[in-house]
Amino acid sequence: MKKKINFHLYLIGGVSIILTTIFITFIFYGLFQQQVKRDLKNYGQLLAQNYTLSSNSIMFKEKVMGDLRITIVKQNGEVVFESYADVSQMDNHGNRPEIIDAVNRGEGNSVRYSSTLENDTFYYALLLKDGNILRVSKQTHSIMTLFLGILPLVVGLATIIFLLCLILSQVLTRRIITPIEKMAENIEALEENIAYDELIPFARTIKMQNNHILKQMEYLEQEKNKIQMITDNMSEGLILLNNDKNILTINNSAIYLLSEKEKDYIGKNILYLSRNEQLNNIINSAADGESSSAYIFVEDKHLEAFANPVYYKENMVGLMCLLLDVTEKKESEKIRREFTANVSHELKTPLTSILGYAWLIKNGVAKQEDIKNFADRIHHDANRLILLINDIIKLSELDDPRKDMNLEGVDLYEIAKECVSSLSVSAQNKEVSLEVVGESHKVIANRSMMEELIYNLCDNAIRYNKPSGKVTITVKAEKENIILSVEDTGIGIPKEHQSRIFERFYCVDKSRLKATGGTGLGLSIVKHIVQQHNAKLVLDSAVNLGTKITITFMK
């Protein structure tokens, strides 16, 4: 704007200077011509008064002033006197306009331009009393030579004026623009800073639009934060890519699932984030306009990845990639598969032995004295089957997340006492003493699950104890929590097995399993119950010294 105003002011200044110069030259030249004409007329009339018939050309010659030229011409055009030239050489002047006018009207004027001399000659002719015509003439500069003569002066002056124009236009422009710039600097207080009244409607519109833009920006910011919050708190990984597979947006989960390295991936190619072949394959298919998905394995995580092209108004504007962590799902699938195989195996073993003994008895192969023994074995194995099936049912019930927990205030001390009495026979058989210490404490829990939990722990503590061993069940409060612990002085669990004993069908010593009569499911039932009650389990065991399992219930 400044440049434009300046340029226009320069242009106006320049054109004004040129036009003024031309007009003034013409006006002055006009005045000058009039002055020359007036002077010539005065001279002519003055000379005519002094002119007598007797006077001769010498009189004129003596009186000639400056560059004034005097000619006497007869009415027929013949030159009788000329102050500057030889009369005999001169041609007839009868056709000169000033002479014709003088003959007809008593006086005449004319101006003629000589291109060879580049000047104008002014003529004034006057009819004398004796009938001759007196003509005075004077040469002056033509307008062109006059103009060229003063040109350096004009150019000099014009330059000075033009420079003044430049300075003035700069100052003026600044004066016009500065208030507008101040307005622009403080859009908030636009109406208080109005530079010119003409700008009031303009300022109002700007203010309105500014407010509108601010509101829109605030709204967009809020929306952006909302989306950011959602994506950041999503456990699924989300990546948005442009058509060149450069990352536009990536949430924390995606970074965690794919690389674990906190880096700024925005603007970088997907390869910079992950070189996983399957992931890049589905992204390439999405880039070709096809939705696809794949299971990918990154470090120790199983991920399910989906890649889709994103369209806006029928044009593909980018790609979206969603990553789901299915590690747990995969792992529980694996556990379930192994469990099914194990269950079949565990059920088959006692059934096969039952079938075998029953066959021997049925076909009379068994001796009479062995029949009781065989019947005992069948009884034992059928019992074992029942135990197994009961445990499997319990586990599958615990596995069902839809099951109602039926929570109530349960006194752990009381349950421990009941458990001790129901296990007293087997404890006596193993020569193990049982003791419950502590005091009554209630936890919010499922009663039968608590019975199952304490029973399993006590059962193990007796089962894996040594003769004249001891089992202590403690129920106490610590800070905000209720603690239940079952401690024995038994065989203990070797370090390398400690992390695995909670797995289904896991037992430290397979050969002893049958002898001890366990199912290998007790501790996995315990683990499930503890998880469902949001409690914490700690195992502390040393081989040959004993085992202590502590469960902390949060209040």
Enumerate binding residues for Mg ion (CB under 5 A): 460, 518, 522
Of the listed pieces 78-86, 114-122, 340-348, 505-513, which binds ligand ADP according to CB under 6 A?
505-513
The CB-of-459 to Mg ion minimum distance in angstroms stands at 5
- Taking residues 526 to 555 in sequence order and writing x for each that binds ligand ADP by CB under 6 A, - otherwise, the string is ---------------------x--------
Of the listed pieces 140-148, 195-203, 276-284, 483-491, which binds ligand ADP according to CB under 6 A?
483-491
CA distance 57 to 80: 9
CA atoms within 13 A on the CB side of 173: 16
Q: In what order do the strands lie in the sheet with 247-250?
A: 247-250, 237-241, 315-325, 301-312, 292-298
Instruction: Say how many Å lie between the first and final Cα of the chain, rounded.
Output: 75
CA distance 314 to 290: 14
Q: Measured at the alpha carbon of residue 500, what is the angle toward residues 483 and 390, in degrees to the nearest 5?
A: 75
CA distance 320 to 238: 7
Number of neighbours of residue 71 by Cβ within 10 angstroms? 24
Q: Kindly state the tokens that stand for 223.
A: 């929306």
The CB-of-516 to Mg ion minimum distance in angstroms stands at 8
The CB-of-543 to Mg ion minimum distance in angstroms stands at 18
Beta bridge partners of 127: 133
Of the listed pieces 190-198, 293-301, 315-323, 456-464, which binds ligand ADP according to CB under 6 A?
456-464
φ, ψ dihedrals at 283, nearest 5°:
-70, -40
Residue with CB nearest ligand ADP? 518
What residue ranges in 401-545 does DSSP mark as E strands? 408-411, 432-438, 442-445, 469-478, 481-488, 536-542
- Cβ closest to ligand ADP, residue 276 vs residue 485: 485
Beta bridge partners of 316: 311
Of residues 301-320, those binding ligand ADP (CB under 6 A): none
The CB-of-262 to ligand ADP minimum distance in angstroms stands at 41
Q: Are 265 and 251 in contact (CB under 8 A)?
A: no
DSSP string, 283-337: HHHHHTT--EEEEEEETTEEEEEEEEEEEETTEEEEEEEEEEE-HHHHHHHHHHH
472 binds ligand ADP (CB under 6 A): no
469 binds ligand ADP (CB under 6 A): no
Q: Are 136 and 80 in contact (CB under 8 A)?
A: no
- Give the residue, chosen from 251, 519, 529, 533, that forms a contact with ligand ADP under the rule CB under 6 A: 519
Of residues 236-265, those binding ligand ADP (CB under 6 A): none
3-state secondary structure 101-151: HHHHHCEEEEEEEECCCCEEEEEEEEECCCCCEEEEEEEEECHHHHHHHHH
Interface size with ligand ADP, residues (CB under 6 A) = 23
385 binds ligand ADP (CB under 6 A): no
452 binds ligand ADP (CB under 6 A): no
Q: Which does 491 bind (CB under 5 to 8 A by kind): ligand ADP, Mg ion, none?
A: ligand ADP
CA atoms within 13 A on the CB side of 106: 3
- Cβ closest to ligand ADP, residue 245 vs residue 463: 463
Q: Which does 520 bind (CB under 5 to 8 A by kind): Mg ion, ligand ADP, none?
A: ligand ADP
Of the listed pieces 76-84, 194-202, 298-306, 511-519, which binds ligand ADP according to CB under 6 A?
511-519
- Cβ closest to Mg ion, residue 245 vs residue 394: 394
507 binds ligand ADP (CB under 6 A): yes
520 binds ligand ADP (CB under 6 A): yes
- Cβ closest to ligand ADP, residue 438 vs residue 518: 518
- Give the residue, chosen from 454, 461, 473, 530, that forms a contact with ligand ADP under the rule CB under 6 A: 461
Q: Which does 464 bind (CB under 5 to 8 A by kind): ligand ADP, Mg ion, none?
A: ligand ADP
Which DSSP state fits 246? B
522 binds ligand ADP (CB under 6 A): yes
- Cβ closest to ligand ADP, residue 138 vs residue 463: 463
- Give the residue, chosen from 47, 99, 247, 523, that forms a contact with ligand ADP under the rule CB under 6 A: 523
Interface ranges with ligand ADP (CB under 6 A): 456, 460-461, 463-464, 488, 490-493, 501, 506-509, 513, 518-523, 547
